[in-house]
A and B are shown apart, each in its own frame.
Chain A
Amino acid sequence: MNKLIAMVRKELIDAARDKRSVMAGLYYAIGTPLIMCGMFMVLINQLTSPEDLNITINKAENAPDLVRYLSRKGINQADLAASPDADVKAITLTITEDYAANMAKAKPAEVIILADNSDEKLQNSIRRLQQELQTYSSEMGSLRLIARGINPQVMQSLKVDMQDQSTPDSKGGMILGIAIFTMIYSVFISAMNLAIDTSAGERERNSLALMLSHPISTRQLVLGKVIAVTLFALLGLVLILLISKIAYTFVPWQELGFSINISTDFMQLMFVIGIPVALLASTLQLFVSFMAKSFKEAQSYLTMVLFVPIALSMAASYNIAPDVLQWIPVSGQQQALMDFIKGKDIPMLQLAVSSTMTVVISIGLMLGMEKMLKSEKVVFGL
C-alpha cells in the first residue's frame, strides 16, 4: 500500500511537471468549452435576425401603411444618409407601382423580395420578413371580411393546438450531446499523454526496468500507474466541468429558445459516471502504450485506438443511435447523461450494465498489462 501511494505520488508529481502532458490534457479540458462557447456565440449572433433589421425598400412611398407596419415590427427601411454605418442586410423589398390600385380593387397587391435564400446568415431575416408580410396580409384580409359583415373567424377552419412535450432542457439536447461528448473525450485526452509517458516513455528512459528491479510486484506497478492516470483523467473531467459551467452561461442560448445549464447535480452525476470511464481511458491507453515499442509508436497507436470510444460517444449523442448503444461502455454512460439532462429518467439498468462492462474491460486490460510486464520483451522493448 505504501509503495502504491509512493508510486501514485511520484507519477502525479512527474506528470504535473511534464508540460506536455499537462498542456495536452488540460488545455483541451479548458480550451474546448471556451472554444465551443465562442463558436456558438458567433453562430447565434449570425444566425438570428437582428432586433432591428435594416433592409432596402424600393418604392416605399407606394405603401406607407405597410412600411410603417414593418417598422413597428423592427424591419426598417435602411437610411444610409442618416446612419451610413448601419448594418443593412442584402434584402430588397420592392413595392410595385400598381400596389395601391390593385389593393383598392381587392386584387392581390404585389411586393417583391429580392434576396439570396441560400445565405444562412440571411435565412432567418428573410423568413421573418415573409412572416410579417403574411401577417399583414391576413390582417388586411380579416379587415376586408369585417367590412363586408363577415366574421373573419370563418377563415380559420382549423385551430391547431400543438402541445409540445419537450422540456427546455431537451430542446438543447443536440448541443448538450456535444457538450457531454467533449467531456467524455476530455477524459480520454487528459489521460493520453500521461499514459504514454508513464509506460512507453518510462521504458524509453530506462526507468521501467529500474522500477521492476525493486521489490514490487507487477500488479502494484500496474495499479500505481492506472490510479495515477485515472486521477489525471478525472482531473481533466473536473476541469472541463467547471469551465463548462462557467462558460456556458455566457452564451445567449435564449436566442435559440432554450437554455443550457450545467447544473451542480449534473456535474456530480457526470463525475460519478466518469469514474469508470476514466478507468477505462487509463487502462486502455496504458495497455496500448505498453504494447508499443516507443513513445512515437504509442502515440500513433492511440490515435487509432481512441477512435473507438470516441465514435461510440459521438454516435450516442445523436438521437438516431441504435438502442444497442445504451448497453455498451462509453455510449451507455453518454446516453444516461443525456437522458438525465433532458429531464428523463435515467435508464438505470443500461447504465449499470454499461458501467459494469466498462469496469470489467478495465480489469481485463489491467490483468493483461500485469502479464505483459512479466514478459522481458515488453520490459526491455525487445
Chain B
Amino acid sequence: MISVTNLSKKIGDVQALNKLSFSAQDGHITGLLGPNGAGKTTCLRTLFGLLTPDEGYAEVDGINVAEKPIQAKQQLGLFPDPFGLYERLTPREYITYFAELSGMSRKEAKAATENVIEQLNLGDISNRRCKGFSQGQRMKTALAQAIVHQPTNIILDEPTRGLDVMSTRLLRDILIDLKSRGHCVLFSSHVMQEVAALCDHVIVMANGSVVATGSPDELCQQTGESSLEEAFIKLIGTDEGIAA
C-alpha cells in the first residue's frame, strides 16, 4: 500500500505539489492521471525519497519514506521513465544487479532473475547487450528490473510511452497479473484509454493537487459526462496535456 499525505514541494518558482494526498491499495491498479506538468513525476520521485517534500509525508506499507528510506524502498519496485538501461550490460546482468541492490544475496538475485526472465519471456534476449534493443525489449527489461525482487508495491512512470500495440498489450497483461497476485500497482500516465482499460482506481491530478478520485465509472458519474475524456477535461479545466 502506498499513501501520500499532504505533500507540498516547490521546485524553483513552481509549486509542483500542493497538499497532495491519496493512497493506492494492494490488489488494485491505481492510475495517476494528469496533464504534463501536473506533478506526477515529482510525486513519484518523492515516494522514492529522491526529492524531499517541503511539507507532508509519503508512506510505503506504512513506513515513512523520509524517516526510513532504505526500509521503505525495500518494498518498492520502480519502472522508470526513461528506463535507465545500461547499454553495455545484458538484461540478465542488469536485472541481477538491481535485485542485489534491492537487498538480495547474489544467489537469490540470480534465481529471481531466472524467474522473471521466464515470466516475461526474455529468454531470447537475456544474454545480449541492451544496446540496440527495441523499445519493447527495453520495456520488458526495465519491467523485469522493477519486479524481480517481488516488491509489494510497483510504481510505473509513464509505462506505455513509446510502446507499440503489442508491447502495450503485454504490459497490460503483466499488470493485471501483478494485481491478481495482490501487488499494489501505481502508475502515472497521461493516456486516458490506458487508464480506463486498466485501472481500478484513478487519481486525477492537476497543478500538484488531486482534483478527483474514484473508478473510471465513478469519475464519469461525478462529472455527469458520458465519456471519460469529457470527464477529464471537465475535471482539469483544460484538455491541454491529455492524450486520448
Contact = CB atoms under 8 A, between A and B. Distances in A.
Given a CB threshold of 8 Å, the question of whether A touches B is answered with yes
Interface of A: 2-3, 6-7, 9-10, 13-14, 17-18, 205-217, 376, 379-380, 382
A6 B100 contact: yes
Given A10-B93, A13-B93, A217-B70, A207 B85 contact: yes
Contacts of B102: 214-215
B199 to A, nearest CB: 23
A370 to B, nearest CB: 14
Contact of B101 (A14, A206, A209, A216): A216
Contact of B70 (A2, A9, A215): A215
A13 B49 CA distance: 28
B15 to A, nearest CB: 16
B80 A209 contact: yes
A103 B82 CA distance: 95
A379 B52 CA distance: 13
B50 A10 contact: no
Contact of A205 (B50, B74, B84): B84
A2 B106 contact: yes
Contacts of A6: 97, 100-101, 106, 109
B74 A215 contact: yes
Contacts of A17: 88-89, 129
A216 B78 CA distance: 14
Contacts of A9: 97
Given A6-B106, A205-B87, A209-B80, 12 more contacts: A205-B84, A206-B80, A206-B83, A207-B86, A209-B45, A209-B50, A209-B84, A212-B50, A214-B102, A215-B70, A376-B45, A376-B50
Contacts of A379: 50
B82 A206 contact: yes
B105 interface: yes
B221 interface: no
- 5 nearest interchain CB pairs? A6-B100, A207-B84, A210-B84, A17-B88, A206-B84
B101 A7 contact: yes
A210 B157 CA distance: 12
Interface string B21-39: 0000000000000000000
A214 B89 contact: no
Nearest to A220: B101
A3 B103 contact: yes
A214 B98 CA distance: 8
